[in-house]
Amino acid sequence: MPEKDDVSKIHDKYTLSLINPSSHYISLAASIAIAGLIGAFTASTYLGSTELIFPTLAVIAALVGTQFLDILFAKHREYSKSLHVSLFGNGLFFVSTLIGYGAMGLFEKDGLDLFYVTMGMVVFASFRIGIFTTILGASLKKAWAVAFIQPMAMYLVLVPSDMWISSLTNPWIILFGGAFLGLATAWSYLTDKAGRPGLKSTHELIQAYVTSMSRKDPAPLEEIIEKSSTESTVSTSQLKFQSTDKDNDFRIVLPDIHPGPFHPIGGSNITGLIYKEMDSTAMVMHSISNHDLNLPTQKEVQNYLQSLQQSKSKQNGAVCTEPVSVTMNKARASGLLFDRTALLFLSLSPHGMEDLPPNVRSEIEQFAENRNFEQVLIVDTHNAMGKEISKEDSEDLLLAAKSTLDTLKTKESHSFKFGFENSEKMNLNQNDIAEGRIATLCLEINNKNYFLGWADANNMENGVREQIVTHFANNGYELIEICTSDTHYTASGARNRNGYFQLGMVSKPNDLANWYLELAKNAESKIKEGTFEVLEHQTNVKVMGPTIFSDYSKVMDKTMSITKWCLLADAGLFAMSIFL
């Protein structure tokens, strides 16, 4: 298996952002429940009290009251984050008291002093130092100032006042508590500096990421990313169809710009924006490109969109061949030839793959040039989920593509008609379909109708393509291929490992098949005699480039390594306290 690239390594850590509950109301309810358990458990065990209602309610009141104080120390003063912090901190507090009580019973220690209750409070405070400096944007000084507010308030209403001094001045508490707090402080300092010299503050990057996800505010993160972005010249190809009466036109757009990195940052919704720029009569395909070609900011997105008006005509004509499809093991290549320009679709569906590597494109383009093609427009169909393409599958795709091109050279060309239909009137509001929705193109060639399906979606659930193709065939329609744009737009956050819903994950495959067939029939009813024109455009824009992902991947690896060692040290300290 090939080594994972930097983007994949970064994405593997995406699940860490899903640890907190989906709603702050869940965190509020859970933290109240845990606080109540801390009060009742401590009172009944450590304090030997039969009166549980007052300590339980007192701890809950202290929790709720101090949650509002936390907001004052957070960078954006978000109550939701305060609630998430309370949940995990209280969880640590309760687990510490629970384990301590079990240890005292296991080792038959004399007396049930409040050592582990106090330890739980200190562990809670240590956790808050780390969270306030990383997620909530507080300095170390502010984090220390706020770290004890909630844990200490809960501790003081729970523990009788005559036991405060003896519990808090216990030499072992001072020793172990100081060690926990010192580790939290060291962790915060070291992780913040982990990205230097390239990245001034790791914590600022994390806070900007959280802001973009929770507040849908891309500005802080875009500002950081733009500093590491580089100028590059990118191409955009268009295959434009126009009816002979000039009333209808349609475009297949192949931008070298890659959607991403994630919504709402930079060009995450670039495919939907291009679709709208083309008056919603376009299919914005995924070219052979990768995340190196992400636009870092929405300002660069606007610059790119405005530059599309400067596209120049490279070739035009009025004939094309019937489609050709070649399969080599898992690989499939389908294509049509418009005069001397080939339109090629590459797929491994239903097996799937990640972005095709650049060498596939360069080798196919060189092969086409050697066969005297004017141009080859290559579409990475992105119609099945998969991992980075293997060497064997890559070679099969190349063989299938070359065979398709060779066959197209032998095919007779014909005049053609075309019809296009989008789903604007269908009111599709599915979370696995982005703003460009879905569309179908009908091509009448040599008195036969062929169809091309498209979705503004981030890839496709495995097997969905085959279900749609079969549904078309059962109704007497031939679907050449169905493609997705690989958009990184999400209408609402997807709480799964991928961070998005691929087409067919929310929308039912049977519904999709029926929607596409309906669009096909409407497109078929609109066909008119047509001509084509190949448009090319190059523009200078800032792109994220490969080094930013490499740098961020290294920062994350270093940060995770520091975190791992600090957590092991924390676990070792707590284990040592058990054997006192």
Q: What is the mean pLDDT of each run of 10 residues along the chain (580 residues)?
A: 63 72 86 94 90 92 88 72 88 93 74 82 95 89 92 95 92 94 96 90 90 86 93 96 94 96 93 96 96 94 93 95 98 97 97 92 97 96 94 97 97 97 93 96 98 97 98 98 95 77 96 98 97 96 91 90 95 86
Residue 416's beta-bridge partner residues? 445
234's enclosing H/E stretch is strand 230-243
Write phi, then psi, for 350 (nearest 5 degrees): -90, 10
Phi and psi at residue 148, in whole multiples of 5°? -95, -5
Rounded CA separation 30/45 (Å): 22
Q: Give the three-state DSSP class for 52.
A: coil
Could you tell me the two tokens for 384?
Answer: 């099945």
pLDDT digits over 8-58, tens only?
A: 677 776 677 777 777 888 988 999 999 999 999 999 998 888 889 998 999
Q: Which residues contact 493 (CB under 8 A, 6 or more apart)?
A: 213, 499
Could you tell me if 261 and 295 are in contact, meaning their C-beta atoms sit under 8 angstroms apart?
no
User: By the 8 A CB rule, do 384 and 462 touch?
Assistant: yes
Q: Identity (one letter) of the amino acid at 564?
A: K
Q: How many CA atoms lie within 13 A of 55 on its CB side?
A: 22
Q: How far, in Å, CA of 570 to CA of 183, rounded?
A: 8
Structure tokens at 574: 């707590």
The answer to whether the beta carbons of residues 204 and 216 sit under 8 Å apart is: no
pLDDT value of residue 497: 78
Tokens, residue 547: 């080094």
Residues present in the chain in total: 580
Q: Identify which of 556, 484, 472 has the alpha carbon closest to the alpha carbon of residue 515.
A: 472
- pLDDT for 4 equals 61
Q: Provide the sign of the torsion angle of the four alpha carbons 289, 295, 298, 304, taken in this order.
A: negative
Exposed e or buried b per residue across 104-127, where buried means at least 16 C-beta atoms within 10 angstroms of its C-beta:
beeeeeeebbbbbbbbbbbbbbbb
Q: Give me the half-sphere count of Cα atoms (radius 13 Å) on the Cβ side of residue 17.
A: 21
Q: Which two tokens stand for residue 13?
A: 């850590």
Question: Are the beta carbons of 505 and 279 closer than 8 angstroms?
Answer: no
Q: Which residues of 411-425 are buried (b: 16+ CB within 10 A; e: fewer)?
A: bebeebbbbbbbbee
CA–CA separation, 255 and 485 (whole Å)? 10
Q: Element (H or E) spanning 274, and its range?
A: helix 270-277
Residue 550 burial by Cβ neighbours in a 10 Å radius (0-12, 13-18, 19+): middle
Asked if 335 contacts 323 with a C-beta cutoff of 8 angstroms, the reply is yes
Structure tokens at 353: 């793959």
Distance CA 557, CA 560 (A): 5
Residue 373's pLDDT is: 96
**Of the candidates 539, 536, 555, the residue with the CA atom closest to the CA atom of residue 547:** 555
Q: Which two tokens stand for residue 462?
A: 């495995």
Query: What are 237's strand-pairing partners?
Result: 254, 536
pLDDT of residue 370: 96
Q: Which of 434, 474, 439, 475 is nearest to 454 (CA)?
A: 439
pLDDT digits (tens, 9 = 90+) for 247-274: 999 999 999 999 999 899 999 999 999 9
b/e per residue 447-483 (b: at least 16 CB within 10 A):
eebbbbbbbbbbbbbbbbbebbbebbeeeebebbbbb
Interatomic CA distance for residues 92 and 97, integer angstroms: 9
- Among residues 74, 92, 88, the alpha carbon closest in space to that of 31 is found at 88
185: left (phi over 0), alpha (psi -120 to 50) or beta: alpha
Residues 335 and 345 sit within 8 Å (Cβ to Cβ): yes
Phi-psi region for residue 504, left (φ > 0), alpha (ψ -120 to 50) or beta?
A: left
- Residue 482 gets the label, from left (phi > 0), alpha (psi -120 to 50) or beta, of beta
532: left (phi > 0), else alpha (psi -120 to 50), else beta?
A: beta
Where are the strands (E) in 381-473, listed by range?
413-422, 438-445, 448-455
CA distance 195 to 8: 19
Q: How far apart are the first and last CA of the chain?
A: 49
